[in-house]
Amino acid sequence: MFLTNGAFREQYRNGGPVLVWLNLDSQEGVNELYALWSASQAKIVSPPESKPWGLYEFTVADLDGNLFRIFYDFATPEREKNA
């Protein structure tokens, strides 16, 4: 994976930040990663919370402004059957 800053992306007419989605296996996993990244003073864009669309998620930005959306999908029907 190669992520760059906005100035580099502008050369290729792609000026916006990259958004990377990371799907974890549990809400606890999301919370653990949030705690780890928060302790390292990562730039937290939004803290973990349950969303109406069925994801438990938080968002963090890297130094170049790219975004990482960390989530657990608690609303997928397959998960509900196995819960």
Q: Give, in words, the CATH class of 17-82.
A: alpha beta
What pLDDT does residue 64 have?
79
* Sheet-wide strand order for 43-50: 19-23, 67-73, 55-61, 43-50
In this prediction, the residues of the chain whose per-residue pLDDT falls under 50 are: none
**pTM attached to this predicted model:** 0.75
Report the distance separating Cα 27 and Cα 43, nearest Å: 20
What pLDDT does residue 25 have?
94
What pLDDT does residue 16 have?
65
HSE-up of residue 69 (Cα within 13 Å, Cβ side) = 12
Q: Where are the domains of the chain?
A: 17-82
What pLDDT does residue 33 have?
97
